[in-house]
Chain A
Amino acid sequence: MGAKVVPAKHHLSQGAEAEALFMSIGEGAIVTDASARISRINQTALRILGFSEKEILGRWFPEIIVAEDERGNRLTSIDRPMGQAFLSGQTVSARTYYRRKDGTRIPVFLTVSPVMLDSKPIGAIEVFRDISTELALERAKDEFVAIASHQLRTPATAVKQYVGLLLEGYSDPLTENQRLFLERAYESNERQLQIVQEILKVTQLDLEKVVLNIENRDIRSIVSEAVASVKSNFDAKQQKIIIKEPDEPLKAKVDPDQMRAAIENLLENASNYTWPGKTITISSRRLKDRVRIMVKDEGVGIDAHDFPKLFQKFSRIPNPLSVEVSGTGLGLYWAAKIIHLHGGYVHVASTVGKGSIFTINLPD
């Protein structure tokens, strides 16, 4: 009797199966130990970054894969998403830029999670993808919007000129009704031009066509100029504006025009979403490593669920006053991006029904 034939069976160890799964992930994947040394890396990550496995295993992640912000500044090991994930113990998703082995720069979107064992971090796993194509598409869209907006502005400007000719007496005298109707047409045309202008302002920023003219300026004077320029909004709603500022100069490196416009934007926003007769407070002060400007209102407030939408393009959050405010949903997006361009950031704290505080933090 011959030996019993046993069907061939692949005895894959659990470890080998996990390894095969890991290597096959369609996005880049990197595993590090608790000190951020790379312990595993899959084929997609190697392909995106241009390294061989031998060159990268065992190396300190922040050193071998340089991460940068969108302006090309190198992120420290703490500032990069993995550092943030280690520090917070939370999963972090972010857009950043990596330097490939050949020195070229690629935009990536990544999610990094600390790996916990018995409540202790034993490392981290990062999954990332190259988003060059997405960014190129975004850019093409922005360019299209810019061209379309410019094209729309020319005929709208002609309407303004000709309605203006009639209203400003460059033609025959108008009847009362003709004047009234033309004034309405003029106002609508102004609104149209304003919308086009806002869209163009945002696309110029998105297309990186805005260059800041940085000066070392006293933030107190920029704040008072911003308050003066939006005072008519407060007056129209009988709102009170309080300025709190230090006695000594509060110098920061800013583009005065752009920063004033960003502050005006937050002030207008505060006025728009606050009931008549209430108070808006703008305060500025120096903290240890930054300058902080806070705009506090007694307005309708924002639900925490809506915070992520606040600074997105064309986003308008419904609230009891939003029907009265004719906005494009671009103002806060623009302001946040301008502040970001200064190396700063904006954050918001709010309670529905009580009001909001928008805080600008600028580097010292």
Chain B
Amino acid sequence: MAKILIVEDEKVLNEAYELVLKKEGYSVSAVFNGEEALNSVKKQKFDLILLDLRMPKMEGVEFLKRSDPAKNFPSTKIIVFSNYDEQKEVDDAIKYGATRYILKAWSSPGELVKIVRESLAEDS
């Protein structure tokens, strides 16, 4: 069972993603900011991280910089799932290890599941 970490500060969105991904059979952990995500990745290995960018305490790009996915968990897929699509943020997220960038406003629960499945299937 693939392990997924949801990093999303909006409680209603965080809960919606958790509900959907659990129903699809994934093992899901959910946290609300980059700081909590940093603690989570230190404790266990995830197959996929669903990462928001703008969050209190620690933003998504800062989490990527500090956790250094390329070095510490290179096989984990990181989908940036944000509503901020400013070019600089997208470029930064990719630069620091995100494997995909999705504007969350365009993804229904079904589409989210499709993206997660596709990402997990890559190079496996």
Interface membership of chain A positions 188-202, coded 1 if the CB is closer than 8 angstroms to chain B and 0 otherwise: 000001001100100
Chain A residues within 8 Å of B87, by CB: 204, 209-211
Instruction: Judge whether B2 is part of the interface by a CB distance below 8 angstroms.
Output: no
CB nearest neighbor in B for A166: B109
Contact call B108/A157, Cβ cutoff below 8 A: no
Chain B residues within 8 Å of A165, by CB: 16, 19-20, 109
Contact call B13/A157, Cβ cutoff below 8 A: yes
Contact call A170/B23, Cβ cutoff below 8 A: yes
**Partner-binding segment picked from A4-12, A148-156, A241-249, A292-300:** A148-156
Contact call B16/A158, Cβ cutoff below 8 A: yes
Chain A residues within 8 Å of B13, by CB: 154, 157-158, 161
Chain B residues within 8 Å of A150, by CB: 83-84
Knowing A150-B84, A161-B13 are in contact, say whether A193-B105 is a contact too (CB < 8 A).
yes
Q: How far is the CB of A166 from chain B (nearest CB, A)?
A: 10
Contact call A161/B84, Cβ cutoff below 8 A: no
CB nearest neighbor in B for A159: B12
Interface size class of A (residues with CB under 8 A): 20 to 34
CB nearest neighbor in B for A161: B16
Total residue contacts A-B, CB cutoff 8 A: 53
Q: How far is the CB of B6 from chain A (nearest CB, A)?
A: 12
Chain B residues within 8 Å of A100, by CB: none
Contact call A162/B16, Cβ cutoff below 8 A: yes
| Cα-based distance from A207 to B23 in the complex (angstroms) | 42
Chain B residues within 8 Å of A161, by CB: 12-13, 16-17, 108-109
| Cα-based distance from A153 to B84 in the complex (angstroms) | 9
Instruction: Judge whether B110 is part of the interface by a CB distance below 8 angstroms.
Output: yes
**Of B10, B86, B110, the contact of A158 (CB 8 Å cutoff):** B10
Chain A residues within 8 Å of B100, by CB: none
CB nearest neighbor in A for B88: A209
Interface size class of B (residues with CB under 8 A): 20 to 34
Contact call A157/B105, Cβ cutoff below 8 A: yes
Q: How far is the CB of B116 from chain A (nearest CB, A)?
A: 14
| Cα-based distance from A286 to B104 in the complex (angstroms) | 40
Contact call B109/A168, Cβ cutoff below 8 A: yes
Instruction: Judge whether A164 is part of the interface by a CB distance below 8 angstroms.
Output: yes
Chain A residues within 8 Å of B105, by CB: 153, 156-157, 160, 193, 196-197
CB nearest neighbor in A for B83: A153
| Cα-based distance from A158 to B12 in the complex (angstroms) | 7
Chain B residues within 8 Å of A160, by CB: 105, 108
Contact call A168/B110, Cβ cutoff below 8 A: yes
Contact call B109/A204, Cβ cutoff below 8 A: no
| Cα-based distance from A182 to B92 in the complex (angstroms) | 37
Chain B residues within 8 Å of A167, by CB: 108
Residues A192-229 near B (CB distance < 8 A): 193, 196-197, 200, 204, 209-211
CB nearest neighbor in B for A211: B87
| Cα-based distance from A153 to B87 in the complex (angstroms) | 17
B residues bordering A, Cβ < 8 Å? 10, 12-13, 16-17, 19-20, 23, 83-88, 104-106, 108-110
Given contacts A196-B105, A204-B86, 8 further A-B contacts (CB under 8 A): A157-B83, A157-B104, A158-B10, A158-B16, A165-B20, A200-B85, A209-B86, A211-B87
The 9 closest A-B pairs by CB, nearest first: A164-B108, A161-B16, A168-B110, A164-B109, A158-B12, A193-B105, A153-B83, A157-B105, A165-B109
- Can you report 25 A-B residue pairs in the complex whose CB atoms are below 8 A from each other? A150-B84, A154-B13, A154-B83, A157-B83, A157-B105, A158-B10, A158-B12, A158-B16, A160-B105, A161-B12, A161-B13, A161-B108, A161-B109, A162-B12, A164-B109, A165-B16, A165-B20, A165-B109, A170-B19, A170-B20, A170-B23, A196-B105, A197-B105, A204-B86, A209-B88
